[in-house]
């Protein structure tokens, strides 16, 4: 279950597949605080690549502007 994390009363818990697309956590009887979170695998790597691409594109644009300004002088 890539990306899913579960805690029960603050302790890590195992996530099981329930039915086909559902997720489940086994709980003993009683009240519990259950927290399921999903973190997209590769999200930070993708964001870093995107940011790097933007910086590279802006740098190339600035170099082009400077080159054209130098030709105009």
Question: Of all helices (H) and strands (E), which one includes residue 64?
Answer: helix 43-72
Q: How many CA atoms lie within 13 A of 49 on its CB side?
A: 5
Per-residue burial over 34-64, b if 16 or more Cβ lie within 10 Å, else e, is eeeeeeeeeeeeeeeeeeeeeeeeeeeeeee
pLDDT tens string, the chain, 73 residues long: the values are 678 999 999 999 999 999 888 999 999 999 999 999 998 888 889 999 999 999 999 999 999 998 888 766 5
> What residue spans define the domains of the chain?
1-41, 42-73
């Amino acid at each position: 279950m890539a990306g899913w994390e579960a805690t029960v009363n603050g302790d890590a818990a195992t996530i099981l597949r329930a039915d086909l697309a559902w997720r489940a956590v086994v709980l003993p009887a009683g009240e519990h605080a259950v927290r399921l979170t999903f973190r997209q695998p590769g999200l930070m790597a993708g964001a870093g690549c995107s940011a790097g691409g933007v910086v590279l594109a802006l740098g190339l644009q600035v170099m082009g502007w400077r080159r054209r300004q130098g030709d105009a002088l």
